[in-house]
Structure 1
Amino acid sequence: MIKIIDYGMGNLRSVQKSFEKVGYQAQISSNKYEILNADGIVLPGVGAFKDAMKNLQDLDLIDPIYQVINEGKPFLGVCLGFQLLFTESEEFGHSKGLDIISGSVKKFPNNLGLKIPHIGWNQLNIKQDNKLYEGLDDGEFQYFVHSYYVETENQDVIGATTDYGIEFVSSIAKDNIYGAQFHPEKSSEKGLQILKNFGKIVEEQ
């Protein structure tokens, strides 16, 4: 069973319905015991980084997240949930993240001559051969909505990058930890393929 963590940061039902569409049951939960007993975990989310971390803390969900990851259970962070996996964010001042992956969340520079937030379809430059990207070609389009991006010196974790004035990390894949800055649940057939691939990874554990 896949559990989608409910910590008050949006768009959970669309993620759940997308998993169901590709043949995998997924339940929304904020109960730490249900999350600890899950086979795979998804941390989605939209909104402010600092608020998200506070909500996770208030719901006593931070330690369960560390525990399921340390147990080797497949974990997928999406959009804000992807950013929370990193060390810190500069959104509305400095905020500490979960620090599961070393790196920082930074605001797109204003001098790019591009609209911020970055909204719409953009391409993935796939950087590694990983089960999460099976069935996707390099240059595949996914749907993005974000004003902040991830920067990491840990090259081993980078699954894909995307160009928007600068090249930024748009997906990670490292051991049992996966992440997507884009919204696979809003990215049509190829986005659903990523969720299906994650479901297969959970199934194979």
Structure 2
Amino acid sequence: MLLIIDYGVGNLGSILNMFKRVGASALISSRPEDVRAADKLVLPGIGAFDNVMTQFRASGLEQDLIKKVLEERRPVLGICVGMQMLGNGSEEGRESGFGWLDAHCERIPDAPGLRVPHMGWNHVTAVKPHPLTATLADDARFYFAHSYRMVCKDPADALLVANHGSEIVSAVQRENVYGVQFHPEKSHRFGMELFRQFAAL
């Protein structure tokens, strides 16, 4: 079972509908027993980093999620701020992230003619091969909406990058931990293909 974690944050219905369209058996739930039973997990996130981390920790699901990811080695996919939660923290706030990636989030630098937040469609480029992204078309583009970018201490953790005046790490992967800065659920056929591959891992 693929579980979309409901802790009051994220485009839960849109994510569920996209997984259903690719034939995946998925569920939205906030129940600890569903987290414990899941084969794969999706961690959505929208908004300010501290608010998202605080709300997740208040849900009471953190220890069950940690066990699934670190002990059982189940795949987890963080989306948008959900990806940022996988790292150590963000200069947007003071809360700590999960620390599953040695990474920190910083504000996207200003660049001539480009606005922050980075909002809208942007092309991505693969920086390492992986089954999650192997079937993406060369012209793959995704919908972004964020002001902070993840900086990975180990460049090998980056999976996809985009450019918005400077490099934006758009997807990450380390062992069973995955994250995407963009919104696959808003990215039409490209997002559908990425969800299909995550469900097939």
1:185 aligns with 2:198: no
Which letter maps to 2:40? G
Give the Cα–Cα distance (whole angstroms) in 2 for the partners of residues 194 and 111 of structure 1: 29
TM-score by length of 2: 0.95
Give the Cα–Cα distance (whole angstroms) in 2 for the partners of residues 151 and 32 of structure 1: 31
Which residue pairs with 1:78 in the alignment? 79
TM-superposed CA distance for 1:40, in Å, is: 0.5
1:121 aligns with 2:135: no
Q: Is the 8 A contact 1:44 1:80 kept in 2?
A: yes
The structure 1 segments of at least 4 consecutive aligned residues displaced by more than 3 Å after TM superposition are 110-113
Q: Is the 8 A contact 2:110 2:165 kept in 1?
A: no
Which residue pairs with 1:63 in the alignment? 63
Give the Cα–Cα distance (whole angstroms) in 2 for the partners of residues 80 and 148 of structure 1: 9
Cα distance change on mapping 1:138 and 1:174 into 2, 3 Å: farther
Which residue pairs with 1:45 in the alignment? 45
CA deviations on 1:104-149 (whole Å, 9 max, x unpaired) are 1111123554111111111111011111012113452111111111
Which residue pairs with 2:89 in the alignment? 88
Give the Cα–Cα distance (whole angstroms) in 2 for the partners of residues 85 and 60 of structure 1: 17
Give the % identical residues.
37
Give the Cα–Cα distance (whole angstroms) in 1 for the partners of residues 61 and 31 of structure 2: 8
Give the Cα–Cα distance (whole angstroms) in 2 for the partners of residues 184 and 81 of structure 1: 12
TM-superposed CA distance for 1:36, in Å, is: 1.4
Aligned length: 200
Moved more, 139-148 or 74-83: 139-148
Secondary structure of the structure 2 residue equivalent to 1:133? coil
Give the Cα–Cα distance (whole angstroms) in 1 for the partners of residues 8 and 120 of structure 2: 24
Q: Is the 8 A contact 1:161 1:170 kept in 2?
A: yes
Which letter maps to 2:91? E
Give the Cα–Cα distance (whole angstroms) in 1 for the partners of residues 80 and 10 of structure 2: 11
Give the Cα–Cα distance (whole angstroms) in 2 for the partners of residues 138 and 94 of structure 1: 38
Give the Cα–Cα distance (whole angstroms) in 2 for the partners of residues 111 and 130 of structure 1: 31
Tell me how large the CA RMSD over aligned residues is.
1.3
Unaligned runs of 5+ in 1: none
TM-superposed CA distance for 1:63, in Å, is: 1.3
1:17 aligns with 2:32: no
TM-superposed CA distance for 1:60, in Å, is: 1.3
Which letter maps to 1:29? S
Q: Is the 8 A contact 2:142 2:183 kept in 1?
A: yes
CA deviations on 1:61-93 (whole Å, 9 max, x unpaired) are 2112211112111111111111100101111x4
Unaligned runs of 5+ in 2: none
